[in-house]
Structure formats: C-alpha cells, structure tokens
Amino acid sequence: MGIYQQLGLKQVINASGKMTALGASAVHPSIAQAMGEAAMDYVEISELMIVAGRHIAEATGAEDGCPTSGAAAGIAISVAAVIAGCHLSLIERLPLSEGLNNKIIIQKGHAVHFGASVQQMIALGGGKVVEVGHANQVEADHLREAIDDQTAALLYVKSHHAIQKGMQSLDTMLQLGREFGIPVIVDAAAEEDLRRYVAMGADLVIYSGGKAIGGPTSGFITGRADLVAACRAQYKGVGRAMKVGKEAIAGLLAALGQYDPEKQNVPEQRRRVEWLAGELNSLPGVKAVIAQDEAGRAIYRVQVQLDERVTKMTAR
C-alpha cells in the first residue's frame, strides 16, 4: 500500500500530465535517492545556493542561477530583485514599494490565472502591475507608451494559459528592453527548452522544476549574474516566505543532471493518444479529438466530450 493510501486518500491515475493539482512529477528513483541523502545531513544553505546556481547556469547557458520553491515563487522573487536589487533596506521593505521604480509591464493576454494569478505573484514581489493593450490584441506601441521612469521590468509569459494570438512577440519585448535599458523577465515555467530564452537575450528566465524537467516541486531563475545575485538576496526578504529546502535543491539538481529534451519521445506520445482517442470514440456518446498544446509545444492531448443524454454522466 502506498503512502497516500495509508493516509486514506484515493489512488490517482494520472491521464493529464505533470500538473500541480496532481502533485506535479513522480520523480525517478535516482532523484528520490538524492533528496533522501540530502535530507539526512546538514549543509550551509548559502553555499548550496551558490553551487546550485552554477549547475543551473551550466544547464541553461546563463551566467548564474537561483533555486526557488517553484515557478510562482520565481516570479515574485524576480520582481523583487529588479525593484530592490541587493539593497538590504529595500529588500526588507518589500512588498511595500511606494516611491520605488516598481512598475511591471505585462501584456493583457498574459495576465493569466495558472492556479493563482500572475498579477498576485507580481504584487508579492512589490511590483505594480501595468497591463497593456487588450485581451486579444496588443500593439508594440501599447508597450512602448507604457514605459516610463518608474518601469522596473517587462514580463513575458510563455504558457498555454496565455492568449496565443494578437500578442506581441518576445523579440519585440526584448528589443524594447534593450532600447530603454529595462530588464525582461520570462515566465517559462513548463517549457522544455532550458536554453532558448537565455540565448535570445532575456535577463531573467523562470522555470518549474516539477514540470518538463521531472524533478520535485521546485523551480529556478536563470540569467544575468547581477540580477540573479539580487534574486538570491531576496531570501532575506519576501523570499523567506517561499524558501526552498536542501532536499528540493538536491532533487532539482539531480533532475537537471539527467534531463535531455532531445529524448522526449514525441512519436510514442502521439501513438498513445491516437490509441486512446480511438478507444474512446468507440464508446456511445463519447467524442475524442487530438489537440496539440496551445503554446505550440510538442505535447499532444486527447480532448473528450460527453453527450450526457447518451452517457447519463458528466465529464466530472
């Protein structure tokens, strides 16, 4: 009997993927072993953070990295970093940021809810949310005209939750960031390519450790050395409420060490979803179609619709 059944919980058959609501990833035994070993010993956390940052930088091609408790924490910490830097008096003041350069510009179609709202994560870091454009259409001038001397950063959300059409590209935001000397933060929580956005020139990029990478519930920020140092500094402020433990850091590094996006077996995934869709379509009152991930990733899902008059049941 598994640990969750011992607690009286029902067994879950995961047909959805690596979702927070289902516990994210079921980690490889080697990752669990690394976490177990870390849990049974002591370490200087500040030194572990520095060493972990080097491993993250190596995996992403960035200058440095910072472990976090998750991607949502990564947003809050990144925002705090661009506002307060490494200045302790400002770090200890956040999220109260009145009088500071605290505006975080985000496209309206990127101000999404992923289980919590992006806007709330920005606010936790002391940011003042500036949504620009419309939910289905944002022009470059919307972004340009929103930038002023209180702008701390531009935030780009790469997610299937975000509106995919009518938004300005990351390239456009990076160009504006360079033009005005403003950092660009990319929320790439569930993305598989750990190097793409750093290579494009993003200043800070946020990833989840428990999604594509297959690690424990965790995350990391990667990017410019000075800004990553500022991210680490936030653990003396708002980051303290979302600190990451030694066990999660060990598991994250183990997952990064064995992660290879080139080994993602897309043809096998397609074969499985095609089989599943075929089986479901053979049932009365059931319609199943295959759909690719809305954000353009090589992830395929079966979408199921029920005719309740025939099945006598709902999808829930």
Query: Between vectors from CA 291 to CA 288 and to CA 294, what angle results, nearest 5°?
Result: 145
The first and second tokens of residue 144, run together, are 């340009």
Q: How far apart (Å, rounded) are the C-alpha atoms in residues 90 and 80?
A: 9
The helix (run of H) or strand (run of E) holding residue 163 is none
Phi and psi at residue 49, in whole multiples of 5°? -60, -40
pLDDT per residue as tens digits for the range 217-271 = 999 999 999 999 999 999 999 999 999 999 999 999 999 999 987 776 778 888 8
Residue 16 is predicted with a pLDDT of: 76
Q: Radius of gyration of the chain from Cα atoms?
A: 21
pLDDT per residue as tens digits for the range 39-77 = 999 999 999 999 999 999 999 999 999 999 999 999 999
**Based on the number of CB atoms within 10 Å of its own CB, is 24 exposed (0-12), middle (13-18) or buried (19 or more)?**
buried
What's the average model confidence in pLDDT over 282-303?
A: 84
CATH 3.40.640.10 in the chain is located at 29-261
What's the average model confidence in pLDDT over 173-181?
A: 98
| Side chain identity at residue 78, one-letter code | S
| pLDDT band at residue 295 under the 50/70/90 scheme | low
Residue 200 is predicted with a pLDDT of: 98
Among the listed residues 185, 177, 171, the one whose alpha carbon sits nearest the alpha carbon of residue 71:
185
Residue 273 is predicted with a pLDDT of: 86
Q: What is the mean pLDDT of the chain?
A: 94
Residue 312 is predicted with a pLDDT of: 82
18 pLDDT higher than 70: yes
Question: What is the chain's length?
Answer: 316
180 pLDDT higher than 70: yes
- Identify the residue with better confidence: 298 or 306: 306
Hunting for tokens 């690596």 — which residue is that?
18
Hunting for tokens 């936790």 — which residue is that?
124
Tell the CATH topology of 29-261: Aspartate Aminotransferase; domain 2 (3.40.640)
Residue 195 is predicted with a pLDDT of: 97
32 pLDDT higher than 80: yes
